[in-house]
Amino acid sequence: MNLADKVQALYAEYGALKGVTIEIYKQLIAVSVKNKAASATIFLQGAQLAEYKQAGERPLLWLSDQCDYQVGKPLRGGIPICWPWFGDLAKNPDQVKDQISLDVVPAHGLVREQEWQLVDVNLIDSETTQIKLELDVQPSDLWPFPALLKLEVTVGRSLSMNFEVINTGDKAFSFTSALHSYFSVAGIEGVEVLGLEDVEYIDTLKDWRLSCSSDPLRVSSEIDRIYKNLSGVVLINDPGFARQIEVTSRNAPDLVAWNPWTEKAKRLSHFADQAFHKMLCLESAHLLDNLQTLAPDQSFSMGLNCRVSIT
């Protein structure tokens, strides 16, 4: 089905719903919802949430102004879904790696470039809208197992996401995954992250050495850390935007903190050289020893909840 026909079919199904619009960004289709409490835009490609905004507030998420909205290229920003492996496959546990026969595979798995199906838009009340998307993963050289992926996004006074994986095949499989959230900040130099003090982390920039700090996280150079086995809430204090972002992860014991800073920013696709000042990735994940294994018919779900409060 071509783009125009797909949009027409989606409009026929959801266009009459209050506050729901179907949009085209160059080659990509997005669904936008707006209610009394908030608004959001999610792309069918990758089921990638690109924007969430509480009424009267700034966007929660950072989205690059250099995105080119092309089929097969994930957007730089928002919340990409990384599955069935996070980051570089070679850095994943053998149980995940050994399932894949190909040598050259994309970073962060295979579903952020694929077109998901919009399966429901539900106006729960005047302040809450729920969007459901699914991806029926067919076995391929890249990933030899059938699976059904579901994403549920609830747009209201807070943002809630639930990502579910169902093993629809007859063999068990193992995976790591993340909700790779890009948060928007006024200026990274002024931001303080609370909730990571005394939590051990793997510093992927220092030979994956284990480390720990009792200070709140402040970013003043490239950072790429995997905080292990968090239990609590993480807070982003942003004096420049006079706001605090509260991030609660569910069934995602690991948190990746990433900012490319000056040099890596120059090497990244769809990323302006100075854009690192305006974003901080805090990614809800289950990685390395927290990989998941699903037997046939078994399912796993993880999620996050984000709430913005004015300071």
| Residues forming the site for ligand TA6 (CB under 6 A) | 87, 107-108, 180, 224, 256, 258, 268, 281, 283
Nearest approach in angstroms of CB 170 to ligand TA6 is 32
* 118 vs 285 by CB, closer to ligand TA6: 285
> Cα torsion for 94, 96, 97, 103, to the nearest 10°?
180
Nearer Cβ to ligand TA6, position 13 or 113? 113
* DSSP state for residue 158 in the 8-state scheme: S
Strand partners, 246: 235, 307
Smaller CB distance to ligand TA6: residue 25 or 261?
A: 261
CB of 128 or CB of 177, closer to ligand TA6: 177
Half-sphere exposure of 227 (CA within 13 A, CB side): 27
Least distance in angstroms from the C-beta of 204 to ligand TA6:
7
Residue from 3, 49, 41 nearest 19 by CA: 41
CA–CA distances in Å: residue 251 to residues 98, 229, 291: 24, 10, 11
| CB nearer ligand TA6, residue 180 or residue 243 | 180
Contacts of 203 (CB under 8 A, 6+ apart): 209, 210, 211, 224, 225
Minimum distance of ligand TA6 from residue 249's CB (angstroms): 15
Alpha-carbon gap, residue 299 to 144, rounded angstroms: 17
Closest CB 80 distance from ligand TA6, rounded Å? 7
Q: Which residue has the tokens 């069935």?
A: 84
In Å, the largest CA–CA distance within the chain is 55
Nearer to ligand TA6, 214 or 274 (CB): 274
In whole angstroms, the minimum distance from the beta carbon of 153 to ligand TA6 comes to 20
Shortest distance (Å) from residue 241 CB to ligand TA6: 23
